[in-house]
Amino acid sequence: MRISLLLLTTGLLFQAGCEKHPQTDYTPLDQSGMWSSNLEQLKKMHVTNAEIAQLAKLKQAGASDDLCLGLLKAARDHQHEFTSGDGVVSLSQAAFTDPQILALAQSDQLDILSGEAVTLKLMGLSSPTVQVILQRRLHGLPTLTSAQIGRMKNTGMSEKQILEFVDKGYSNQQAEAFITQREAVRNHSNTGFVRVHGRRR
DSSP of the chain:
-HHHHHHHHHHHHHHHHHHHSPPP--HHHHHTT--HHHHHHHHHTT--HHHHHHHHHHHHTT--HHHHHHHHHHHHHTTS----HHHHHHHHHTT--HHHHHHHHHTT-HHHHHHHHHHHHHTT--HHHHHHHHHHHHTT-----HHHHHHHHHTT--HHHHHHHHHTT--HHHHHHHHHHHHHHHHHHTS--PPP-PPP-
**pLDDT value of residue 197:** 52
Low-confidence ranges of the chain (pLDDT < 50): 1-10, 12-14, 16-20, 194, 196
Enter the pTM of the model. Answer: 0.66
The residue extents of the domains of the chain are: 29-126, 142-187
**pLDDT value of residue 5:** 45
